[in-house]
Structure 1
Amino acid sequence: MSFDEECLEDDFLSAMSDVTPLGPDDRVSTTQAEKTLAQQLKRKALEQQLNRANNFLSSEITQLVAPDDMLGFKQDGVQEGVYKNLRLGKYPIDDVLNLHTGSFEKSRQSLFDSITANQAKGVRCMLIKHGRGEQSKPIAGYLKSAVNHWLLQLPQVIAFHSAQIHHGGSGSVYALLKKSEQQKDLNRELHRKK
């Protein structure tokens, strides 16, 4: 140890000579107060507002469809056989979303949340019940037109088609979702060349 280091150590020890360690009784305990109901409601409202802000689905419907029209779409790259099986209702339905009971904005948010969550969970096919909307105001088939428009905007949806009669006919639609990353990895492993 050099002379400078010894001096520094002595200075430190002399500066700390009057310091006493804290005992167990000298600790300060802090308790977090329960959040009030108003704080809880404010937080919930902010979370809902954030979810709505993340929802990019348009509120404006540009193309109206009639209540009896059949809906259908498939992205490029979806095989004809896959689309035919979807059309015929041959895929197992992993989830059902009923949009009949909610308001327009609630339906929009429910569809967005459901498809996002289901695709992340690995759901491949879901049934969306939108109704035919023959009596809807101001325009017949308004929610059906909205669902058609929204499904076209969602990148997770690779194909959709109006359902078979026993699943709701033209008042429901099958939606085929993209595979999740986990499903893709599993598929690669399953079909890997040995």
Structure 2
Amino acid sequence: MSEHNEGDLFRQFVGDVKPLKQTVRGDKRPAAKDTPGLIERRRAAQELGNKEGNYLARQEHISPVKPWDLLSFKRDGVQHGVFRSLKQGKYVIDATIDLHGRTVQQARQEVFHFLRECVERDIRCATITHGKGQHRDPPALLKSCVNHWLQQMDEVLAFHSARPQQGGSGSTNVLLRKSQAQKDKNSEKFNRKTSRK
């Protein structure tokens, strides 16, 4: 078939097809609707937190940080190289939680249970996305709360604001302690190695 005939054949085949209209995409995605399951999980988490004694501070006891501040904390005993790797985003993130759209009370419950569950599941590094809160009143409220809460939790060894490609100062990478089961497993493994020598 010649080029001329192929072009005619193509026009004949797609003749009545009209191109789609181009729409401009916005930067903001529509807010996700809370599903009945999500609402029930939040309610259950709040009830569980009340029973377990969620000790995280309430909003009125928290010192504010600024929207663009970097969050950084390291417990005594955490090696400098380990903390540097956390700051540089070198650890694999095994779990994340997004607090956008949450009230302080909801975020308080969710952070508490999220980090407890991470330790139970032997997750060593997690990310909490809290946003910068630059257009809120007061500014950076959730960010300030997360900064304070993480320092209160013994499960947290260190934390640092995420790298720009991971969410920047609107997210925080958290290094968690090992679960007791993992500590026992490592101890047993170490004892076997030393007994062979």
Please confirm whether the aligned pair reaches a TM-score higher than 0.5, indicating the same fold.
yes
Is the alpha carbon distance of 1:91 and 1:140 closer, same or farther for their aligned partners in structure 2, counting shifts above 3 Å?
Answer: same
**Match for 1:142: what amino acid?**
L
Contact 1:97–1:128 (8 Å) recurs in 2: yes
RMSD: 1.8
Residue pairs, 1:100-139, within 5 angstroms? 100-137=100-137, 139=138
Deviation at 1:71, TM superposition (A): 0.4
Contact 1:86–1:160 (8 Å) recurs in 2: yes
Contact 2:45–2:113 (8 Å) recurs in 1: no
Contact 2:128–2:171 (8 Å) recurs in 1: yes
Higher deviation after alignment, 51-60 or 119-128:
51-60
Residue 30 of structure 2: aligned partner: none
Deviation at 1:183, TM superposition (A): 1.1
- SS of residue matched to 2:147: helix
- SS of residue matched to 2:97: strand
Contact 1:131–1:170 (8 Å) recurs in 2: yes
Is the alpha carbon distance of 1:81 and 1:140 closer, same or farther for their aligned partners in structure 2, counting shifts above 3 Å?
Answer: same
Q: Hey, what's the Cα distance between the residues in 1 that align with 2:83 and 2:173? A: 10
1:38-72 per-position Cα deviation (integer Å, ceiling 9, x unaligned): xxxxxx97984352251111113431110010000
- For structure 1, the 5+ residue unaligned runs are 1-43
Residue 156 of structure 1: aligned partner: 155
Q: Hey, what's the Cα distance between the residues in 2 that align with 1:168 and 1:61? A: 27
Residue 168 of structure 2: aligned partner: 169
Contact 1:162–1:171 (8 Å) recurs in 2: yes
Residue 86 of structure 2: aligned partner: 86
Q: Hey, what's the Cα distance between the residues in 1 that align with 2:155 and 2:77? A: 14
Is the alpha carbon distance of 1:48 and 1:171 closer, same or farther for their aligned partners in structure 2, counting shifts above 3 Å?
Answer: closer
Contact 2:46–2:109 (8 Å) recurs in 1: no
1:147-189 per-position Cα deviation (integer Å, ceiling 9, x unaligned): 0011011110010000001110000000111100111122223
- SS of residue matched to 2:49: helix
Matched residue count: 150
- SS of residue matched to 1:191: helix
Q: Hey, what's the Cα distance between the residues in 1 that align with 2:108 and 2:44? A: 18
TM-score in terms of structure 1 length: 0.72
Q: Hey, what's the Cα distance between the residues in 2 that align with 1:71 and 1:191? A: 35
Contact 1:61–1:146 (8 Å) recurs in 2: no
Q: Hey, what's the Cα distance between the residues in 1 that align with 2:75 and 2:87? A: 14
Q: Hey, what's the Cα distance between the residues in 2 that align with 1:179 and 1:68? A: 31
Deviation at 1:103, TM superposition (A): 1.4
Is the alpha carbon distance of 1:47 and 1:157 closer, same or farther for their aligned partners in structure 2, counting shifts above 3 Å?
Answer: closer
Report the identity percentage: 42
Contact 2:89–2:163 (8 Å) recurs in 1: yes
